[in-house]
A and B are shown apart, each in its own frame.
Chain A
Amino acid sequence: MQMSFANQALCAQFIAQNKGKLSISVMRVPDEIDNRVAALALKALGNEIDTLTPEQQKYLASWH
C-alpha cells in the first residue's frame, strides 16, 4: 500500500499548494508525482538508476 499512500500524501500536498487553481474535474495524478513516488521507492530499496546524458537526450529528440 505504500505506493498508493505515497501518491495520496503527495497529491494532498499538491492540492494544498494549488488551492483555487485546479479545474473542477477528475484529473490524473501529475507525472511529476508518479515519477517522484517511483524514485522514492527505488531510493528506499537502495537502487540507483541511470540518467540520460545531454548527448543522449539530444539524440532522442532529433531526426536521424
Chain B
Amino acid sequence: MGAATPIRDLSARDLEPILAVARDLAASFDLDTMLGEVASAAKQVLKADRVSVWLHDAATDELVLGSSSDLGSVRIPASMGLVGSCARHRRLINVPDCYADERFDPSVDRRTGYRTRCMLSLPLIDHKDELVGVIQVLNPASGVFDEDDEALATVLAAQCAVALQRARMMDAVIEGERMRQELEIARSVQLGTLPTTMPAVPGYDVYGRFEPAGLTGGDTFDLQVFDQGLLVVLGDATGHGMGPALTAAQMQAMLRMAFRLGADLDTTFTQVNNLLADMLPADRFICAFIGLLDPGAHRIRFHSGGHGPILVFRAATGDCEVHRPTSFPVAAMPLPALRTAATLEFAPGDILVLISDGVTEYRDSQGEEYGHARIHEVLRQHHGKPMAELADLLLESVQAFAGGAPQEDDVTAVLIKRESPRPPAASSFARSLDSLEAIFGFVGSMFASSGVDASLRQPVEFAVEELFTNMVKYGKASEAEVCLTLVRIPGGVEATLIDHDTEPFDITQVPDADVDLPIEQREPGGLGIHLVRRMVDSLEYEYREELRQTRITFRKVVKGPSNSGGATGDGHAHD
C-alpha cells in the first residue's frame, strides 16, 4: 500500500492538510472526532465533494458507515457493493461512473438522497495488516480521480487506518474501565450489606464468611437476631456483571425490612420471591436459604429456594445429612402457594452447614469437583472447634484441594452450631499460696480440653490468681477450701470463685489505684483488683448471707478486630 509512485506537483497546499491530519490523528483518541477529521482531510486533499468512512465490524463482518456507536448508522454486509469489493480484495477501486458499474450498490444513495457519480474506494489496513474499514471519496471537483489522486489517497488511507484502529481500541478500553468501575460499586454495595459482627445467640456458635472471587459474583449471607428468632440467610444470585451483586443486596435489604416489621417466615419468603420475580429479568434468580432459628426450641424453620445441599452434621453419630432445596429458586417465578417451611432440630453439638455452590463446585487443576464428601471429612475431624475456626479449616481444605487453581466463584459459608453443654470444670483448693501451681494446672487443662481461645489463658490465670490470693489474705478466719469453676461460653470462658465462711466484702466497690503517682509515693499492693477490672470483660460479686458465702464471677471473651486492645483500658495513665 506504500505510495511508491512519485506524485506530480505535490504543492505545499496539498501537503499541509496531510501533515495536519497526521498531527491531529496522533493526538486524538475519540473515534467520532477522528472520523470527522479523516473525512474532512480527504475532502480537502482530494478536492472531493463528499467522503464516507466505513468501519469494519469484525464480529458481524459488516461495514458500518460512520461511527459504529451510532445506532442509526448504515450497515451493509462486507461483501456488498463497491465498498464490499474493496474490503474483500483489499485493493483500491477507482470508478469514474458508478451507475455504469455493476458492483455499485445504489441503495445507499437511495437512503441518503445523494447522487454518487464518481468514486474512489480505498481499504484501510492498519500496521498489523488488519482491515479497519474502507474510505470512499466521492465526486471530485475535477470530474474524475487521476493516478496522482490515487497516490495521495493511498498515503492518507494508511495514516487513517492506524489512527482509527487506535481510537477503536481506546474506545474498548474506556468501555471496559467503565464496566469495571460499575462492578466495583456494585461489589461494595453488596459487601456493605454483610454482617460485620456475628450475633451472640445463647447456646449457639454462629458464623458466616464471604470470600469474593474477582469482581463478579452474587453471594450473600445474613445472621441477624429479630424478635422472630435468628435470621439465617445464604444466597447466590445468578448472572454476570453488576446485576447479581445488586440483586443479592436487594434481597438482603428486603428480608431484613420484612423481619424487622414483624413478618413471619412464610409471608416474607412469598412476598420477597414475588416482588423479585416481578422485578428481575426472566433469566435471573437467586438460590437462597432463608431460615429462622428458635434457639430456645433448638429448631430452625426454613425455605430453601434452589439452594442445596443443606448439610447437617449430627454430633451423636458423626454422620452428615444432606437436605435438598424446598422449592425453585427465589425470583424464578411468582409463588402461587407455598409449602409449609421445612424444619430441622438441633441436638447438642449438631452443626448446620450452608455453603455456596462456589465450594462444592470448586475444581482442582484436573477439573474434579470438591464435593460434599470432603466437607463431611472436615466436619468429622473438626466439629469440636469454634465455628470461625471451622470455617477457616473448610476454606483451607478447599484451597489445598484446588492446588492453586483460581477461585472462579464467590465462596460463602454459614455455620450454625448448637453448643454441647459441657459440665463445668470445678475444683477446690486449699487457701494457701501454695495452691497456685495446682490452680494454674487446672486452668491449663480446662483450656486444653474445651478449645477456649488460648490467648485468653494469661488474663484468666491473672484474674483467678488475684481473686484467689485476695480470698487467702482477707479470709484468714476461714478454713474452708476455695472452689473454682470454669465454663466455656460463646467466644470465651466464665470463671466463678466461691469462698465459704467469709464476711461480706464487695471487691467491685474497691476504688481504682492511682497509677499516675510518682514512684516515691507508690507502694506495693493495691493493684490486684485494679488490674483484674482491666483484664476481664465483666466482674460480679455476690454474697449469700445464709451460707456466709462469697461468689465472684468474671467473664473473658475474645474481642473482635475493631477493639483488639485487650482490656477496657479506661482511666489509663496516658489518657
The answer to whether A and B assemble together is: no
